[in-house]
Amino acid sequence: MVVLGFFSLVAGALAARNTAATGLAASVDPLVGTGSGPGGTINLFPGPTLPFGMVQLSPDTESRGYGYHYDQGTIQGFSMTHMSGVGCPNEGDVFFTATTGPVLTGVSDFQSPYSHSQEAATPGYYRVALSRWDVNVELTATDRAGLAQFSFPAGKAANILLPISHTLNNTVGAYIQVVGDSQIDGYVVNHIFCDHPQTYKVYFAMTFDRPFSTFGAWNGNRYGGPGKISAGERTVAQTGHNQWIGAYATWPSVNHPQTITAKIAISYVDQAGAENNLKAETAGKNFSRVRRQANEKWNKALSAIEVSGGAPANRTVFYTGLYHSLLMPTIESDADGRYLGFDGKIHQVASRHLVYTNFSGWDIYRTQMPLLAMIEPQRMEDMSQSIALMYKQGGWIDRWPQLNDYTNEMAGSPQTIEVAMAWLDGLHGFDIDTAWQGMLEDATHAPPPGHFYQGEIGIDWINKLHYVPYDKIKYGSVSQLQEDAIAYASLYRLAVDLGKTDDAKALYQRALYYRNVFDPQDRFFRPRNADGQWAADFDPAQDWHGFIEGSGWQYQWLAPSDMAWLIRAVGPDLFNQRLSDFFNYPKPEVNSRYYTPYNETDLQAPFEFNFSGKPWEGQRAVRRALTENYRDTPDGIPGNDDCGEMSSWAVMSMMGIYTVDPASLAYEVVSPMFPKIVLHLKAPYAGKRFTIETSADPETTPYIQDLQLNGHSHPRNWITFKDISNGGALHFTLGSNPNHAWGAAPKDAPPSLSDGRP
């Protein structure tokens, strides 16, 4: 009863001094996607961050893994860095928590049960009650710093612990220094994700709004407890993986509840960077002000797209999806513009620009980066420049860079697709010459030996045979080439735009290499050996048989740059029969025979009906995927969100526009979910707004009957990116039954690489 009484008092105090999220931020629920949803663990975090913030501060419910899971009932503590929805244990750096009573009690066992009824999350804010310790915790964030406000009960000593060796991955080094009576500094060295050997160092500076009375540190074994706890010890260091260190600060008990606020900033450059980030972003600001500013910044970011009408649940799904789409890539440069380059050296970014990192390339090139190019053009230019700098400083462009390291995760050359798309969209505020050099080198040469970067897998075989032989390279030999071909096509379009005629001719031919793994007999993409023979015993429903994270059925549709050829090669009737069967799944589940909305391998497939003369089937398939897999609940996102990719798929689909091939600048059209959607455009785009409107009740009328673009009838089932960026209006007339005439003629289909259209 004492605990419940204290929590009631805390709740009342919180209600008095903390207003709920306002504006569009009130339509976001950061707890969506934190549960174990359809298709597996989602791995999202509910804690506060700003758009693309370096700091992604959040509770951790596990000691190693992804961070937070809604169905786990214990909070370990809180850490400053996370990644949104990745599939490997990762980050969780600069870990801290609060306890009450004797310090010794909590040093080795600091976790606490918690209840979702005493938890709240909005953009830029998180609150939870740690019931074991009678402590209420509130979190908010700036770009590079976090604020943690702890409400302690009367009559108990208040402790803040920094078990700095605790991360979500593999900590190999750390250091803590207690400075004076109100500051703790240090760093932690962690491995990059997915079991790669490279490490990174993140520095931190933590200050308190009240001086602590006592402090100390501990030094022990990860599996044997904290070992020696030394009161008054100011420094402690970890030099190996099995070591377990930390520090604590204590405030004496008083006869009334007490509140202590910690400000924590990080830097990947050095200690001075962390301290300057702390000063630049939090000096003179209390918790309430930072939280209010976080709400305002999220409202500004979310207001890029305004939706009107529709069910409240769909509005939550949409704005939560948009919120998750704006979390990554993340800012790497400090407040003073310094950042650590891929050469390991400190560099300075140009004034009023930012350097970004953590590009989940293979995932986000499909939907998230096209969305960011549309609504965050200046950031997209800086992101493209960050990719150019990766090549300039490190010597290669990685598929999935983490911080300033190469991970070589997944396949293809996705950053090429993203950079080419940005330039072709009209975003020219970056060094295209350096980017072009890096992209062309990646497309045509193997990287030099002795480096962490990998380049396109099987590039020497591609140059020799024009495909990746299955008997030489088992890891996704078919899908590797399919992904490479998309990059070649994107680079071809860029070469045309840049006037590089000879390069364009060569890249056009490379863009057609995907045809070399298409079997004209069974009309599937399939593994092929170096002698030209097709691999025996091929089953298109078998996972990983020449394909990464998928099957021949799921990769049947991965020729987005040249759909016209694929439809002709399969045969229009068989293509439509197979595609219809592909979406005739009994229920959404992980499988290798049908469409699975839980991974990126077939995300574009519903929109390919626009190419094959049956756009109404795509409208049906998209609506079903949205309805069954995206909800305003903790399990409301399918699969891993993969740094915003799955969320951005929902955002684009609910708006009724999607690009199968981002560099083609064509956006396929399906039926929107809201009566009115306004995209507020920014420079350098010519338009101010692009409006999407529908007839009444779009949620119950999923089929397009007619379409008008800027007041004129539009029979094509696609629009161009310039139609959007120049501003204008798209009006849908919708119905409850399919219109088999609209958008179904061959001339209504989107452009393809080999059909001679621009």
SS3 730: strand
The helix (run of H) or strand (run of E) holding residue 291 is helix 287-302
Residue 589: CB atoms within 10 Å: 12
Decide if pLDDT at 15 tops 60. Answer: no
Name the band, by pLDDT with cuts 50, 70 and 90, for residue 40: low
CB 220 within 8 A of CB 244: yes
Percent of the chain with pLDDT over 70: 96
Domain membership of residue 675 (yes or no) is yes
CB of 360 within 8 A of CB of 194?
A: no
Residue scoring higher pLDDT (372 or 588): 372
Asked if residue 688 and residue 620 are part of one domain, the reply reads yes
Residue 19 has pLDDT above 80, yes or no: no
> Measured between alpha carbons, how far is 386 from 361 in angstroms, rounded to an integer?
13
> Do both 78 and 181 map to the same domain?
yes
Give the tens place of pLDDT for each residue, 737-746: 999 999 999 9
Under 8 Å between Cβ of 218 and 226:
yes
CA atoms within 13 A on the CB side of 717: 32
Packing angle, helices 432-444 and 501-511, rounded to 10:
40
Identify the pLDDT of residue 5: 34
pLDDT band at 589 (very low <50, low <70, confident <90, very high): confident
Query: What's residue 56's pLDDT?
Result: 98
pLDDT at 195: 85
CB count within 10 Å of CB 390 equals 26
**Quick one: pLDDT band at residue 2, thresholds 50, 70, 90?**
very low
Q: Which of 687, 625, 688, 696 is nearest to 654 (CA)?
A: 625
Angstrom CA distances, 739 to 117, 610, 611, 657, 704, stand at 47, 13, 16, 18, 7
User: Using CA of residue 458, residue 462, residue 466, residue 471, what is the dihedral sign?
Assistant: negative
Task: Give domain status of residue 754, yes or no.
Answer: no
For residue 243, give the amino acid letter.
Q
pLDDT for 367 beyond 70: yes
Rounded Cα distance between 350 and 341, Å, is 14
3-state secondary structure of 49: strand
Average pLDDT over residues 211-224: 92
The tens digit of pLDDT for each residue in 131-180 reads 999 999 999 999 999 999 999 999 999 999 999 999 999 999 999 999 99
In a domain, 550, yes or no: yes
Find the angle CA(600)-CA(327)-CA(389) to the nearest 5 degrees: 85
Domain boundary among 257, 279, 301: 301
d(CA 529, CA 477): 10
Helices (H), 62-118: 103-107
User: Are both 519 and 590 inside the same structural domain?
Assistant: yes
Centre a 10 Å sphere on the Cβ of residue 447 and count the other Cβ atoms it contains. 18
Measured at the alpha carbon of residue 150, what is the angle toward residues 223 and 145, in degrees to the nearest 5? 80
Question: 121 pairs with which residues across the strands?
Answer: 126
Tokens of 562: 């040249």
Which residue has better confidence, 241 or 480?
480
Percent of the chain with pLDDT over 90: 91
Q: Does pLDDT of 224 surpass 90?
A: no
Whole-number Å distance between alpha carbons of 598 and 603: 9
**DSSP-derived secondary structure for 416-448:** HHHHHHHHHTT---S-HHHHHHHHHHHHH-PPP
Considering only residues 66 and 367, tell me which one the structure prediction assigns the higher pLDDT.
367
Give the pLDDT score at 41: 63
CA distance 528 to 535: 5
CA–CA dist 96, 42 (Å, integer): 24
Asked if residues 412 and 362 have their Cβ atoms less than 8 Å apart, the reply is yes
In the predicted model, what is the mean pLDDT of residues 561-572? Answer: 98
Mean pLDDT of 374-399: 98
Contact status, residue 737 vs residue 546, Cβ threshold 8 Å: no
Q: Is the peptide bond prior to 638 cis by the omega test (within 30 degrees of 0)?
A: no
Name residue 658's beta-bridge partners: 668
- Check if the beta carbon of residue 582 is closer than 8 Å to that of residue 506: no
Q: Are residues 501 and 622 in the same domain?
A: yes
Per the domain annotation, does 758 fall within a domain?
no
Q: Is residue 11 part of a domain?
A: yes
Specify the pairing of strand 524-525 against strand 666-669.
unpaired
Q: Is residue 106 part of a domain?
A: yes
Considering the domain architecture, whether residues 83 and 214 belong to the same structural domain is answered as yes
CB neighbours of 63 closer than 8 A, spacing ≥ 6? 76, 166, 168
What distance in Å separates the CA atoms of residue 122 and residue 22, rounded to the nearest whole number? 10
Q: Can you tell me the mean pLDDT for 589-616? A: 95
pLDDT tens-digit readout, 293-339: 999 999 999 999 999 999 999 999 999 999 999 999 999 999 999 99
Tell whether 252 and 285 lie within a shared domain. yes
Q: Structural domain of residue 554, as residue ranges?
A: 304-748
Q: Give residue-wise pLDDT tens across range 521-545.
A: 999 999 999 999 999 999 999 999 9
Letter for the amino acid at 68? Y
Query: Three-state SS for 316?
Result: helix
Task: Write down the pLDDT at residue 1.
Answer: 28
The answer to whether residues 603 and 367 touch, using CB atoms and an 8 Å cutoff, is: yes
**Domain stop point among 250, 269, 301:** 301
What pLDDT sits at residue 38? 61
pLDDT value for 455 = 95
Under 8 Å between Cβ of 700 and 692:
no
Query: pLDDT category, 410, cuts 50, 70, 90?
Result: very high
Res 756: pLDDT = 64
Q: In angstroms, rounded to a whole number, what is the distance separating the alpha carbons of residues 731 and 678?
A: 12
User: 314 and 215 in one domain?
Assistant: no
pLDDT of 644: 97
Q: What's the number of domains the chain is made of?
A: 2
Among 278, 301, 324, identify where a domain stops. Answer: 301
**CATH number of the domain within which 516 lies:** 3.30.2080.10
Residue 639 has pLDDT above 60, yes or no: yes
Q: Are residues 214 and 325 in the same domain?
A: no
Pick from 648, 647, 645, 692: nearest CA to 673: 692
- Say how far residue 89 (Cα) sits from the centre of its chain: 15
Could you give the angle at the alpha carbon of 733 between the alpha carbons of 731 and 738, nearest 5°? 135
Instruction: Clarify whether residues 214 and 310 are in a common domain.
Output: no
- For residue 477, the SS3 value is helix
Does residue 755 sit within a domain? no
pLDDT at 105: 74
Q: Is the pLDDT of residue 551 over 60?
A: yes
H-helix segments, 114-171: none
Residues 252 and 334 reside in one and the same domain: no
pLDDT 10s digits, 685-695? 999 999 999 99
Tell me the pLDDT band of 679, cut-offs 50, 70 and 90: very high
Q: In the chain, how many H helices and how many E strands?
A: 19, 35
Instruction: Please give the radius of gyration of the chain, using alpha carbons only, rounded to the nearest integer.
Output: 26
Check whether residue 273 and residue 399 sit in a common domain.
no
Check: CB of residue 397 under 8 Å from CB of residue 487.
Answer: no
CA-closest candidate to residue 141, choices 267, 78, 50, 202: 50
Q: Report d(CA 327, CA 336) in Å as an integer.
A: 22
**Omega before 684 within 30 of 0, i.e. cis:** yes
- The conformational region for residue 369 under phi > 0 = left, psi -120 to 50 = alpha, else beta, is alpha
Mean model confidence pLDDT for the chain = 94
What pLDDT does 8 receive? 35
pLDDT exceeds cutoff 60 at 220: yes
Per-residue pLDDT reduced to its tens digit, 54-66 = 999 999 999 988 8
In sequence order, the 6+-apart residues with CB closer than 8 A to the CB of 242 are 221, 222, 223
What CATH number did the domain enclosing 64 receive? 2.70.98.10
Residues 390 and 278 in one domain: no
Residue 39, pLDDT score: 60
pLDDT in tens, 424-454: 999 999 999 999 999 999 999 999 999 989 9
Q: How confident is the model at residue 87 (pLDDT cuts 50, 70, 90)?
A: confident
Asked whether residue 756 is assigned to any structural domain, the reply reads no
